[in-house]
Structure 1
Amino acid sequence: MKKNEQLIILELMNRRGMIKDKSLLYRLKNGFEGELEFIQWFGKYNKSHWTLETDYWFDMDGLKQIDDLLISSQKWIVVDVKHYWGKFQYINGNCILNNKLMKTDIFDSLETKTKKIRRLVADINSNIRVDSAMIFIGEHCQVELDCVPMAQVVMRNELMSFITGLEYANPMTDWMTRKIVDKLNEYRTKERPPDIALAPEQFSELLKGIQLDGCGHNDFSTDNRWITCKVCGTKETFKSVVSRHAIELSYLFYYYPKIVTTKNVHALMGGQITKRTVQKYLKEEFKVVGMRKNCYYKVR
């Protein structure tokens, strides 16, 4: 499972000193970690013929995203994973997290998506049943409900039992597999475009300098081909460093692709690699758009 573009942009903005209120970053990062943990649990404890479709974006009378789809030949389960910390309450149709009213009814949203998947599944086989599950995977999450939601509610300490207790499913035939893939792809669409990105005039505000992949440190030594972190020993080639910073620039200024120039990548890296070297590897790795001084690199 990959991080969505919004989270990627926020993490890069944070590294470059461009975020004051980090609440959205923490919320998206926490959600991603929760979904990743569910995928790991499913891979570890699923011993039956169920498959998992993750991060499914689809357009059926409007754009929707489903965290996970558990799929078998007889039954599907639409899954929402919530990685909350603290106390979640569902009272009179209101969702309250740590005494703060949430904007969305998460159970109503899940039911809406489940109904759409039922329509999709009906075109595959009308005998396949579609249910839903709300999984609270947070280690320190309490849940209080004043009614019984339409979705199955699964707490972290029940998750292993939920996965191992999935009813037996027959192996999927090749014909059924192809039909399911084709139907999912019929409605599949790209994720919602990010609504947070920088404008070109903000380039001067970025913290500049090479940040090594993985460790994120900026104290390093160089030789003819390699950059080596003095803190942890991480090594990375010049080509990899240049490519990665070009991609970083394209995400930071998501809606301004022309900003990815030799000059700007060189500046983002704090001038710590020569402009000629930056240009060399940009030309090797990416398509050049335009001519001479007005050219830029198509990164995404």
Structure 2
Amino acid sequence: MLYKAKTKSEEHLILEYLDRRMSLKESDKQRLYRLNKGYEGEVQFEKLTSGLQTPCIILNDLTFKVNNSTIQIDSSLLFGRILKFYEVKNLEGDYYLNDDKFFMRDGTEKNNPLLQMKRSESLYRQLLKELGFDLSIEASTVFVNPAFTMYNAPLNQPIIYPTQLTRLTNQLNKIPSNLTQSHWSLADKLISLNQEKSEYTTLPDYRFDNQKKGVTCYKCHSFDIGVIGYKVVCMQCGHHEDVEAAVMRSIDELKMLFPNIKLSTSIVYDWCSIVSQSKIRRVLKKNFNIVGVHQWSFYE
């Protein structure tokens, strides 16, 4: 059972929003590309494991602080007597291992995912012990991209290649598993310990006045949007959306980019650009509480 799904981090969402509304530096574009790539790979693995028939609790996208060290666990599968977790990689291209070093074919050295997995395994085991749970732990690194090849990999390493994913699900479905309340208690405890905000997040400088204004298409993210009655219509892909849903989505984006901003009809009108002030006022009154009076009023 999928108990905690993969979600985009705050950093990921903010970079996506900024990429649509301003010109990002190349380093920020590369960071966004890596976040997108990682997200796609983890979602792919999530879809694979969500179809398991044997009883298990699936916890994806967890970050813990253990003994002043931070570990990120892409996917945990909790069975009756064992916890299996996976370091999910969506790399593509040719790579090779040389001792404990991990290289691209052109000789560029990259972080070794196997070392990363072993470090996480040790800290995860410590965490479970601190929580009072005595479960076996097995860790694996799984490469999900069919365009990935690795040379010179030792056969005794817990590596799962793209061609082995179907075999993996078959093996997992054969694990005898009986879940009890203690398993669900452990799952809830792990979720409660999840660190949602990364301490290593670095974002580009941005301001309200240097952002491109307008409602974006929910489907293709185009700014080429028209309002027809109580619908917003994308002129690029034809997607239709209720005005209220589009305005609320734009407000969520505004609040994430500028968490300290005070919502007012004029601010949201400036942000959305194409939706009339009267429609925006109706949406705000319906979904928020008004604070203050006259020109000092705002919504929260």
Alignment TM class, shorter chain as reference: 0.7 to 0.9
- Give unpaired runs (5+ residues) of structure 2: 1-5
Q: Does 1:59 align with 2:31?
A: no
Q: Structure 1 50/191 Cα, relative in aligned 2: closer, same or farther at 3 Å? A: same
- Give unpaired runs (5+ residues) of structure 1: none
Letter in 1 for 2:270: A
SS of 2:84's equivalent in the other structure is strand
SS of 1:31's equivalent in the other structure is helix
- How big is the shift at 1:140? 0.8
State which of 153, 161, 166 in structure 2 corresponds to 1:160.
166
Letter in 2 for 1:211: T
Give the match for residue 266 of structure 1: 269
Separation in 2, partners of 1:54, 1:154? 18
Length, aligned pairs only: 289
Separation in 1, partners of 2:197, 2:208? 26
User: Following TM superposition, where does structure 1 have runs of at least 4 consecutive aligned residues deviating by more than 6 angstroms?
Assistant: none
Give the match for residue 214 of structure 1: 219
Given that residues 9 and 196 in structure 2 are in contact (C-alpha distance below 8 angstroms), is that contact kept between their aligned partners in structure 1?
no
Letter in 1 for 2:280: V
Letter in 2 for 1:160: T
Q: Deviations over 1:175-201 (max 9, x none)?
A: 3333322442453332316421544xx
SS of 2:126's equivalent in the other structure is helix
Q: Structure 1 228/169 Cα, relative in aligned 2: closer, same or farther at 3 Å? A: same
Given that residues 134 and 152 in structure 1 are in contact (C-alpha distance below 8 angstroms), is that contact kept between their aligned partners in structure 2?
yes
Question: Mapping of 1:1-300 within 5 angstroms?
Answer: 1-21=6-26, 22-44=29-51, 46-61=52-67, 62-98=69-105, 99-102=107-110, 104-122=111-129, 123-126=131-134, 128-145=135-152, 147=154, 152-166=158-172, 168-185=174-191, 187-192=193-198, 194-196=201-203, 198-199=205-206, 202-253=207-258, 256-258=259-261, 260-270=263-273, 272-288=274-290, 293=295, 296-298=298-300
SS of 2:121's equivalent in the other structure is helix
Q: TM-score, normalised by structure 2?
A: 0.84
- How big is the shift at 1:259? 5.7
Q: Calculate percent identity across the aligned residue pairs.
A: 20
When the two chains are superposed, the root-mean-square deviation of aligned CA atoms in Å is: 2.7
- How big is the shift at 1:3? 1.5
- How big is the shift at 1:295? 5.2
Separation in 2, partners of 1:252, 1:73? 42
Separation in 2, partners of 1:181, 1:188? 11
